[in-house]
Amino acid sequence: MAEENSSLNIWPEIEKAEKENRRELVLQGSAVDKKIQSSGGLHARLYSLSLLNYLEISQCPSLHEIHENIRHLSHLQSLILCRNKLTAVPKSIGDLKAIKVLDLSVNQLQALPEEICALSELNTLNVSCNSITALPDGLSKCVKLASINVSKNALSRLPDDLWCSNLELLSSIIASENAIEELSSEVHNLPALKVLDLSSNKLQELPSELADCSKLKETNFKGNKLKDKRLEKMVNGCQTKSVLDYLRAGGRGKGKGKQQDGELSEKLDCGRNISKKKSGAKQKGKKEEEEVDELNRMVVRVLHVSKAPTAVTVKVSAGVKDVRPYIVCCIVKGMNLRRGNALKRFLVAQTKLHDEICAKRTTATIATHDLGLLKAPLLYDTRPRDTLKIVPLGRKEMRAVELLELLQQEAEELRKHKKRQNVSGLHKYLQLLDGKDLYPCLVDAEDHVVSFPPITNSERTKGTDLSVCCKSKMAELNKLTFDVKEDVGSDEETDVTSVPPAEDPASPELTVVQVKVVDVDGNLKVVYPSKTDLMSDVCNLTVIR
């Protein structure tokens, strides 16, 4: 493949990196994909850039394989090959002894070469969103491994040596949405483990040794049908500490922990010690179990647009087709963000979605608006870059070009501070508007720009302080490309939220109101959520349509 296109005109990106002795190279998006398609693969000269320490090739669906000549990039420390359609990884990847970060997420891999285990400097491994059925044995040789993400694959087990004490730096294991049947009791051998996510698997038991992981702060076992139903309720509704306390005590009636059965009867369901009589413990335990049941019950009611008392419609102009063509919206009512740190956790969840599923906002952006501050109807349109104005979050009104210049300046200062060749992945979304004369925007009935994707929302429509807020919110998902619809669409409802009136009691039920997106002639383009959306197999979630 690589040899065949060696005589073709060299790609300008590769030529520039070669002439300037660059250490970093990013090949991304449709323009690069067209070159791959016409060349029959990556240009052969790419593999001669031996000075590279960072290489990213992403969002190229025509990329199905990497040539074995990748071995010549011996100085690579970060290799990012995400969101392509790779079906295999060459064995020669094991020759990249300096690799610290390897990202093969969102491809079509079914297996990984054993040679990956020879990467002794490997710190981060991300192979999520593939079809991998088994991980290679020997990962314990990657003694510097700190984070591994194998979520959304077809794994039935994790390799035994993943729990080896050699992996003393391993702090994060993300293995959700697989078919894993057992969590090894050797998990306690990982002294640095802080995050363990095995949600939506086929676990039936959790080992009591899990409680011996002294640094474990975050666990997720939701979506597993555990034999111990009390424990199953706890993993869905209680904090990690409570679950670990319960396991440390040996669970209910198993006697595996250090404490005796008499002491177990004096524990609350979420593991809190009490010093009262057994009868009092049972009464409090029953009350605690009822509270867990309430936490465990989640209902989403979808309100059809025809039944909504005040339907919201979003029109889409023809001009967005060549700039940023896709947008879906919905309204959600019933989520209380006033209690504790609920708002903070919501914002953290939104940031996580932006970083992972939305690929740091390069494939999609998610936005929330206070519905009471939106002046309908809304128009998704384009405006000339020099005339578009917005009041960015936390800033005064400015022109879009001024905002971009400011953000690019901040990104450049960060790049210099970090001593990197290119701007960080956090700021890559800024490049999406490079060379564009028209910018996408969501405009209200008063011609105010309320959203400027993928850059920012407007201060005008953000949620007010939660101590006085009693408004609903509107969630807007703006998509860059239809090619990643499957990756984003299944999770977009996760970020949809609203705040109920202050006087309303907390409720486990959310109401999602459909929003129509139409063209300027009124022809339907999309309605969300449709019958095929919000399809979840989460055991404690009920969707009423």
Range from 155-169, 251-265, 340-354, 368-382 that averages highest in pLDDT = 155-169
pLDDT at 191: 93
pLDDT at 174: 96
* Residue 480 vs residues 107, 266, 388, 429, 458: alpha-carbon distances, Å: 19, 55, 20, 11, 19
pLDDT at 160: 93
Of residues 70 and 240, more confidently modeled: 70
Query: Is the full-model pTM beyond 0.75?
Result: no
Question: Range with the lowest mean pLDDT among 380-389, 489-498, 500-509?
Answer: 489-498
Count Cβ atoms below 10 Å from residue 277 Cβ, excluding itself: 11
pLDDT at 474: 61
Of residues 392 and 219, more confidently modeled: 219
Residues above pLDDT 90, as percent of the chain: 40
Structure tokens at 251: 């669970």
Indicate the residue type of 275.
Answer: S
CA distance 471 to 475: 13
Segment 124-158, tens digit of pLDDT: 999 999 999 999 999 999 999 999 999 999 999 99
How does DSSP assign 128-144, residue by residue?
-SS----PPTTGGG-TT
Segment 58-78, tens digit of pLDDT: 999 999 999 999 999 999 999
- Whether residue 413 is predicted with pLDDT greater than 70 in this model: the reply is yes
* Beta partners for residue 331, in sequence order: 474, 513
Of residues 4 and 115, more confidently modeled: 115
Structure tokens at 359: 């690929």
Q: What domains are defined for the chain?
A: 12-228 (3.80.10.10), 229-296 (no CATH), 298-544 (3.50.40.10)
Q: Which of 538, 545, 426, 457 is nearest to 490 (CA)?
A: 538
- Whether residue 526 is predicted with pLDDT greater than 60 in this model: the reply is yes
pLDDT at 330: 85
pLDDT at 329: 87
pLDDT at 287: 56
- For residue 354, name the pLDDT band (cuts at 50, 70, 90): confident
DSSP, res 83: S
Indicate the residue type of 401.
Answer: V
pLDDT at 497: 35
Segment 184-237, tens digit of pLDDT: 999 999 999 999 999 999 999 999 999 999 899 999 999 999 999 989 988 988
pLDDT at 478: 65
Question: Range with the lowest mean pLDDT among 4-18, 51-65, 101-115?
Answer: 4-18
Angle subtended at Cα 127 by Cα 23 and Cα 425, rounded to the nearest 5 degrees: 40
- For residue 297, name the pLDDT band (cuts at 50, 70, 90): low
Question: Range with the lowest mean pLDDT among 159-163, 500-504, 515-519, 532-536?
Answer: 500-504
Query: To the nearest whole number, what is the mean pLDDT of the chain?
Result: 79
pLDDT at 122: 96
- Whether residue 372 is predicted with pLDDT greater than 50 in this model: the reply is yes
Question: Range with the lowest mean pLDDT among 117-121, 370-374, 522-526?
Answer: 370-374
Q: What is the mean pLDDT of residues 384-396?
A: 86
* Beta partners for residue 457, in sequence order: 451
pLDDT at 71: 95
* Residue 191 vs residues 74, 159, 170, 246: alpha-carbon distances, Å: 32, 18, 8, 20
CA distance 249 to 132: 36
- Whether residue 25 is predicted with pLDDT greater than 70 in this model: the reply is yes
- Helix, strand, coil shares of the chain as percentages rounded to 5? 30, 20, 50
- Residues with Cβ < 8 Å from 35, sequence gap 6 or more? 11, 43
Question: Range with the lowest mean pLDDT among 89-93, 150-154, 514-518?
Answer: 514-518
- For residue 435, name the pLDDT band (cuts at 50, 70, 90): confident
